[in-house]
Amino acid sequence: MPRRRTSSSSSSTAPATAPSSAPRNRTPQPVRARRRTFGDFVKAFLAFVALLVLVVGVPGALAVTVGWPLPSGAPSLDWLQQEITVTTFLHILTVVVWLAWAQFTACVLVEVKAALSGVGVPGRVPGAGPSQLLARQLVAALLLVGATAASLTPGLSQFGQHHLEGNQKPSVAAAQQTPGLFAQQQEQATGTAAALAEQASHAAAQAQAETPTASQHGDIKYYRIQPPEGRHHDSLWEIAERHLGDGRRYHEIFELNKDRVQPDGSRLSEASLIRPGWIMEMPGDARGGDLVEMPDQAPRVSPDVQQQIDAYAQTGDHAQGGAQAGGGASHVSLPEQRPATDTGPAPQHQQQAGSTESSSDSFGLSEALLGAPLLAAGLLLALGRRRRQALWQSAFGAVGGRRGMEPPTPTGDAQDVQDALLVGADPEGVRLLDRSLRGLAASLAAESRPLPTVYAAWLSNGDLHLQLAQPAGKPPEPWQLGQDQTFWMLARTDAERYEDVDTAAPYPGLVSLGTMDDSRLLLNLESVPGIVSLSGREADRAAVFASLAAELATNGWSDRMTITLVGFGQDLTPLAPSRLRHLDGIEDLVETMEAETRQRRGALGAAGHDSVLTGRTGPAQHTRWAPHLVLLAAQPSAEDAVKLAELAADASRLGIGYLVGTETGDLPGAAWEMEITGEGKLLAPLLSLELDAQLLPADQQRAVVELFVDPEHRPDGPAHTPPFLVDISEQGRPAVYARLVGPYEIIGLDTPDGERSALLHEALALLLLHREGVHPRVLASALWPRGVTDDVREALLDRLRDWLGTDPDGSPRLRADRTGRLTLAKSVVSDLDVLRSLYHEATQGKGVDRRAVRGRLLRDALVLVRGPLLADRPEGRYRWLTHEIVDAQLPLLVADTGLALSEFHMEKNRAEKAIEALGAALRTAPADERLWNELLRATHATGDTARLTALATDLIGRSGARGLPPRTEALLDELLPTWRDSVAAVG
């Protein structure tokens, strides 16, 4: 079991005089309910009579005595000239009374709704003033005899009902209720109300013993922090905005209450970290119905709460006890983990921390990327997409009109980074995470249940733990409740049963922060109710920001996203041009986000959604409510920081997240404060959180971007020469010849015996496809995706050397270059090497000026094509091919060969030979539009209209619902103008 961080360990440096935190395990006690007195029933009866008279009696009396006061028809000019009589005056007065009655009735309805729903702050009726106050008092008195009178008083609805987790397992440290990360809205249960009351009484008695009793409180007002409501969390900014008229006055509330002992025994040390149930003394000009004045004995408040407020009022000396760093901190620990089962070696990326490889074996590889499996997998997937796109653009002449272009082989730092990505990537983990989250969303939608707000996810021993903002009931199967009501857990074995589902990604804002023990933490940036701040040295902060931006831009568990970067030295746009955008400064950011915030608020309101989570499960789930994440690496000015805090106050429900860098760590509106150290530790002291941070340092960041730069933007231009050319003459016969294009065959070697034969064949195939060299760790991660020990890897390499043997000069056919990468001798070739060499020689070598040679070389090349790459490879092996683009290169190379040979035949009007060459190429590249278009031209050249019509019909049948590509349609219009009618007649 991984170690747990407890409150005792996290506060070991605190002074001995610091008040102890509230006990973490509580046993619910019976509720000591206050008995209702005869006076309570009398007050309730009188309130009922008063409400009956005012709400029902007044309109009844007006209807009986005065009747309808308004004219029965449309007024005319004569009506203005009539004499004002007593009757006219009475009618005007009646209208005024009717309006006053309507306003009072509205106040009663608003107060009753707030009382029954438990909303802390009821809506305000415009211009009501005393009317709403009277309605509030009457409703409260009427419902005083109910079961939970405290819940009927606006602003005090949760007094004494803050739930302390009962019977929690000692090994689990659940997060406290804070407006920052891991804020947990616990279920309100009357069975635990007495436990809080007892604790508060003890804290109040202790505070009274430490401080002199105040003789007079005057008209000081107090506010009690409300528990979260959905995605909304109380904050000092919002409290100041409601009761002081300006959110920027939050610091006045903070100064009044800083370091004072709260009812739960903790203290307010950071303006961004407050808990439900805490009491805040307010400035004298505070206004609002949910404030409590003392010593009025607060008739709407329970005696326990009165005692807490009275005790808190006597602790105004801020100097007592000093500032206790972390005294009121929330303690965050790992989710409860199941014992790890023995399912074979751990994945390669999980072995890096404990690896004992020598420096000679791990040369040049980025340890930061080796330890970032989700980031590495996302970058590899995005890199594969980019390279395939470049290949197809080249094939269709989009890049300089040249065909056959291959992405250049990376060198130097870029090659080292690519190897680190190949070793560290965990594509299976990304796939499981994506399917698990989408499967959860689909199951909840099927049950008509909303998505719960998720603050974070933990990946521990293959299991996925979601940490919710508040309890959301029992999760759908196969998910299970975790250590408490705010953890949903999915075992890896259950996640593997998920299939792909057609639903939107529910939590695309999840991003890796780092690891603690064997668990990886992903923070949901878009759900944090406020700003996440990051302090530390500029270079260290930049490494964290770059890692987060790169993973958000390329992760495999999101659909659409906008990531705005400000203050980044390196342009990361090449990683994901459709997601990433750079802004020049903070002014541009504030202007952009103000418009974005207004637009999202309006869109949510128009759609009738409370948050983006409900929108993602609706009919427009794939096109709306994508997150917008802002990464501001530069230090904002004080004025800009306040503007950002205002924007972030309501950002979480809008799907907008803010991560802001700061030099001082003091940022207005920060919900969670982090610090990155020079040793690579990501700290959140007030949360007792210490992670090994996920980083992307500047040099590796530049190398990653270099991998994504389009070839035409490189100084040396696109690469046209294959990385390895073979001697295609009779004297160039290889010693070992492997046939990879089609079924896998090896000529020149004996078939090895034993179970390792398949591994040796796979290792040779990988080396043949990478003539530039393969890092030993890349080879090991490809053959053993779940990891392997060094001695097993070295034993396989020894067997591979023995199997390949040596050349006549005694040199081994498997060798290491000056960088330590494994390479093959030139005497070991594959049919793919020969195919590339033949095409290159025909189009750029001897065949350029010698037509007969060109034709012979192209025919020889096309004969080599026997099917797809490694056609008969066993299931479950060669998974590393998913990271390769050879499966895209081979069809393009075959198509280019077929097109070149077709052009060769058409020069001599040999249409049938051209059709034969194109047909051979189509067997390996059936989706290449260029081959079909040339086949149409060659068929047209035969003069057989029926044959051309049949080919058009076949093409339409292959195109399916999408129809023919525009180029093909235009070509058919040129070659066969009546093709639509002809095809319809044939059909």
What is the per-residue pLDDT across 109-143, written as a single tens digit (0 to 9) for each? 887 776 665 444 456 677 666 777 788 778 777 76
Point out the least confidently predicted range of 31-35, 374-378, 545-549, 865-869: 31-35
pLDDT in tens, 441-479: 999 989 989 899 898 999 988 899 999 988 889 999 999
> Which distant-in-sequence residues (6+ apart) come within 8 Å of 280 by Cβ?
222, 223, 224, 225, 236, 239, 253, 256, 257, 274
Residue 57's identity, in one-letter code, is G
Confidence of residue 403 (pLDDT cuts 50, 70, 90): very low
Among residues 686, 689, 651, 642, the alpha carbon closest in space to that of 178 is found at 686
Point out the least confidently predicted range of 120-129, 494-503, 962-971: 120-129
Token pair in block for residue 720:
């046209």
Q: Kindly report the number of other CB atoms within 10 A of residue 628's CB atom.
A: 22
Strands 463-468 and 487-490: antiparallel
Residue 410's identity, in one-letter code, is P
Strands 531-536 and 562-566: unpaired
Residue 859: pLDDT above 70? yes
Confidence of residue 144 (pLDDT cuts 50, 70, 90): low
Most confident stretch, 47-51, 345-349, 650-654, 908-912: 908-912
pLDDT in tens, 413-448: 888 999 999 999 999 999 999 999 999 999 998 998
Confidence of residue 617 (pLDDT cuts 50, 70, 90): low
Among residues 522, 511, 547, 520, the alpha carbon closest in space to that of 456 is found at 522
Concatenated DSSP letters for 411-459? Answer: -HHHHHHHHHHHHH--HHHHHHHHHHHHHHHHHHHHTT-PPPPEEEEEE
Under DSSP, the state recorded for 5 is -
Cβ neighbourhood burial of 715 (10 Å; 0-12, 13-18, 19+): exposed
Radius of gyration of the chain measured on its C-alpha atoms: 37
> Interhelix angle for 886-906 vs 851-863, to 10°?
140
Residue 964: pLDDT above 50? yes
Among residues 581, 579, 552, the alpha carbon closest in space to that of 564 is found at 581
Of residues 106 and 29, more confidence is placed in: 106
d(CA 29, CA 474): 25
Point out the least confidently predicted range of 160-169, 419-428, 538-547, 787-796: 160-169
Beta bridge partners of 221: 282, 293
Token pair in block for residue 478:
């196969």
Q: Would you call the peptide bond into 636 cis, given omega within 30 degrees of 0 as the criterion?
A: no
Residue 669's Cβ-side half-sphere holds a number of Cα atoms within 13 Å equal to 28
The 3-state DSSP class for residue 303 equals helix
Confidence of residue 298 (pLDDT cuts 50, 70, 90): low
pLDDT in tens, 155-210: 323 323 333 333 333 333 333 333 333 433 333 333 333 333 444 444 444 444 44
d(CA 866, CA 856): 18
Residue 752: pLDDT above 70? yes
Strands 656-662 and 628-632: parallel
Token pair in block for residue 818:
């000056």
Residue 832's identity, in one-letter code, is L
The overall average pLDDT reported for the chain is 77
d(CA 523, CA 657): 11
In this prediction, residue 203 carries a pLDDT of 41
Of residues 290 and 203, more confidence is placed in: 290
Residue 926, Cα to own-chain centre: how many angstroms? 38
| C-beta separation of 972 from 951 below 8 A | no
| C-beta separation of 662 from 635 below 8 A | yes
Point out the least confidently predicted range of 161-175, 284-298, 704-718, 764-778: 161-175
Residue 764: pLDDT above 70? yes
d(CA 836, CA 721): 9
| C-beta separation of 200 from 264 below 8 A | yes
Confidence of residue 334 (pLDDT cuts 50, 70, 90): low
Q: What is the pTM of this model?
A: 0.65
Cβ neighbourhood burial of 247 (10 Å; 0-12, 13-18, 19+): buried
Confidence of residue 511 (pLDDT cuts 50, 70, 90): very high
d(CA 39, CA 46): 10
| C-beta separation of 512 from 544 below 8 A | no
pLDDT in tens, 896-921: 999 999 999 999 999 999 999 999 99
Residue 504: pLDDT above 90? no
The 3-state DSSP class for residue 503 equals coil
Point out the least confidently predicted range of 17-31, 230-244, 477-491, 849-863: 17-31
Residue 806's identity, in one-letter code, is T
Please say whether the dihedral angle defined by the alpha carbons of residues 911, 916, 920 and 926, taken in this order, is positive or negative.
Answer: positive
State how far the alpha carbon of 810 is from the alpha carbons of 718, 771, 814, 829, 844, in Å.
38, 21, 12, 18, 35
In this prediction, residue 381 carries a pLDDT of 92
d(CA 612, CA 438): 16
